[in-house]
Amino acid sequence: MSELYIAGIMGETDSRRHQKFAMTRSEEYSTVVPSPSPVFAARREFRDFDEFADKIVGWGLDWVQLDRGPLRAGLQQIAMSSTLLTRFRFSRKFHQRGTYPPGTRTFGLLGPKSPHMEWRGYEGTGDHIVVFPSNDDFECVSLAGFHGDAVSVSEERIRSVAEVMGVPDPLEEIPTTQAVIEPDPKHAVALRSLISGAHASVASLDGPPPAEPAQYETDFEVVAALIAALATTRDPDQRPPGPALRTRSLQLALDFVEAHANEPPTIEAICRATGASRRTLNYGFQYQFGVSPKQYLQMTRLQRVRRDLLQSDPNLSISETAANWGFWHMGAFAADYRRQFGELPSETVRGS
């Protein structure tokens, strides 16, 4: 695992507890910076999603892996004076649920060669800017090979830079729900170039971080480029999206699975709890996630076992941990676990 720390120390960050962002004032404008360090950069590689979720700064993530095989994930983050840049890549397909950095509006750009993503009924591609909802809860489905960037900036900072630029407040035209918008290509290219330049400078940095004026300049340029891209978008597509990510039945089924995964429930029990037929549930899961309800339930349980194994409770054996999530046949459990994550449970424990 490679790791790069610059300007400050990132501790054992638990992103499931929303990290609070400290509001500070400079002579020129308001800034949002992670507390306690004013600037940091970090680059890491991961083989386990829960470790990724624990280390990422500002985000609260709880995902389910939807395909089989070992995970390879990359993360690079840069916190400037008022902006958090997050670059990511994943080798596996995921049902993503979580929250973005609190106190910000967050926008995503898929990598030019990234597969598309299902974004609450919209299809997000490399031609779009993905708009995160203003209430900070998001959900989507991303395919294997998914990669791109996220830009998180406070609304106050966006408005203050827009005022300096002499352009209208772009947030007045941006949807408050999950959406995708299509910016003018040249402005999108300029934004991508600035983000990539910031990440490249961090990756090659061998020494102290840039001086404060240079940090503010880069921060301003990125926010200004984001505003220019948002201001030149074509009118957001107001047509009703395709089938919503969650129909009521699917929503109820996911909530029931989450609450009862350790039992585990039968498909008949899920049907009774949701009032949906087996056929309706199967269609919903297949359409949104590409797996059956039974497969999704098993993937969720395996993910919970892996999370517990990585916590390495010395008082629990692998068999006891598996039994806590409804796996009683150890041979079948080990085979299913290896197919899902590319390693045996004992290898997970040794590597934790």
Q: Which domains does the chain have, with CATH numbers?
A: 3-231 (2.60.120.10), 248-351 (1.10.10.60)
- Residue 226 pLDDT level (bands cut at 50, 70, 90): very high
Please tell me the predicted confidence (pLDDT) of residue 141.
Answer: 94
Query: pLDDT tens across 5-21, in order?
Result: 333 323 333 333 333 33
Q: Is the pLDDT of residue 99 over 90?
A: yes
pLDDT over 90 at 204, yes or no: no
Residue 248 has pLDDT above 50, yes or no: yes
pLDDT of residue 159: 93
- Judged against a pLDDT cut of 60, whether residue 35 lies above it is answered with no
> What pLDDT, on a 0 to 100 scale, did the predictor assign at position 173?
86
Q: Is pLDDT above 90 for 228?
A: yes
Mean pLDDT of the chain: 81
Q: What tens digit of pLDDT does each residue of 145-178 get?
A: 999 999 999 999 999 999 999 989 999 888 888 9
Q: How confident is the model at residue 38 (pLDDT cuts 50, 70, 90)?
A: very low
Query: Residue 85: pLDDT above 80?
Result: yes
Q: How far apart are CA 310 and CA 286, in angstroms?
A: 30
Question: Residue 16: which of 64, 72, 56, 48 has the closest Cα?
Answer: 56
Instruction: Dump the DSSP string for 142-202.
Output: E-TT-EEEEEEE-HHHHHHHHHHHT---GGGTS-SSSEEE---HHHHHHHHHHHHHHHHHH
pLDDT at 247: 73
Residue type for position 18: H
Residue 45, C-beta contacts closer than 8 angstroms, at least 6 positions apart: 1, 2, 72, 73, 74, 75
pLDDT score at 215 = 62
pLDDT at 324 (0 to 100): 92
Within 275-344, residue ranges assigned H as helices are 278-289, 293-311, 318-324, 330-341
- Total residues found in the chain within this entry: 352
Tokens of 115: 């597969």
The pLDDT of 246-264, averaged and rounded, is 86
Query: Burial, 222: exposed, middle or buried (Cβ in 10 Å; 0-12, 13-18, 19+)?
Result: buried
Are the beta carbons of 151 and 76 closer than 8 angstroms? no
Q: If pLDDT is split at 50, 70 and 90, which confidence band does 238 have?
A: very low
pLDDT band at 214 (very low <50, low <70, confident <90, very high): low
Amino acid at 324: N
Quick check: 47 pLDDT over 70? yes
Whether the link from the prior residue into 314 is cis, omega within 30° of 0, is: no
CA R_g for the chain = 21
User: Are 105 and 134 contacting, i.e. CB atoms less than 8 angstroms apart?
Assistant: yes
Name the most confidently modeled range: 61-70, 257-266, 308-317: 61-70
